[in-house]
Amino acid sequence: MSAPLLEVEDLAYRPPGLSRPIVEGVGFTIGAGERVALVGASGAGKSTLARLLVRLLEPSAGRILWAGRDLSSLRGEALRRVRAELQLVFQDPLAALGPRRRVGALLADPLRALARVPRAERPAAVAGLLRRVGLDPALADRFPHELSGGQRQRVAILRALASRPRLLVLDEPVSALDLSIRARILNLLERVRAEDGTATLLITHDLSVVRAAADRLLVMEAGRIVEEGPVGAVLAAPRAEATRALVAAALGLPAPTAPADRFPTDPLPNDR
């Protein structure tokens, strides 16, 4: 059996001035091409953990291993290569993309810095990225605030995909979208996994999204992982109180979204 792509060992994070850690004693692994979901109540530490994984924050204790190498020990070119392979999609695409640069420039940045695409080839590469998710290449000339919410989220995902990452960490990527666009975004992620072998760590509070887009589930409470296992088994017979609370909160909601391979495969409309 091959070694895990990502290994997290006894990870902790306590910002200066706080009496208790936001993340404490967290450990899990993600294999190549695996679909993992991370759920938990607001304030459980999920977004902080995501930022630790991509080294936007430095842990107070523990280790993060990427393909067997300790992330904290990497510098320079070695760290740049890992940043190309391990990408984060933020919850708020408008804030993440920034308001003053056009979509084409935003997508060209990772093509230049991480994928090392020559300048002359970048416009065609940007157009190809936009077409991949059903967006008109003419949107490259627009600013993020001129796009719809669904378009902005696809651009944010595209920026992360530009370097062809091996693992995509997604922080609530569909929480602000309506149901039809949410299904198409999840279908896009499944298509990327099928075509490129990209693993995903999907952070969400929506159990219907978990059922559709993950095979294994991590449940977080007060900075710790309190339950882990196959999605169906965990949700059918939750052991941790935090998991039972999430399942109870989901009762009475619409039926779970269809599995990802049954989502609509028609091109994503540009007006959504």
CB-based burial label for 231 (10 Å; 0-12, 13-18, 19+): buried
Express each pLDDT in 237-257 by its tens digit.
999 999 999 999 886 444 334
For residue 150, pLDDT beyond 90: no
Express each pLDDT in 48-69 by its tens digit.
999 999 999 999 999 999 999 9
The pLDDT value recorded for residue 93 is: 84
DSSP string, 215-236: SEEEEEETTEEEEEEEHHHHHH
**Mean pLDDT over all residues of the chain?**
87
**Could you give the C-alpha distances from 109 to 78, 92, 138, 190, in angstroms and in order?**
19, 19, 18, 25
For residue 195, pLDDT beyond 50: yes
Task: Output 207 or 133, whichever has higher pLDDT.
Answer: 207
Question: What residue spans define the domains of the chain?
Answer: 6-262
Domain 6-262 superfamily per CATH:
P-loop containing nucleotide triphosphate hydrolases (3.40.50.300)
For residue 265, pLDDT beyond 80: no
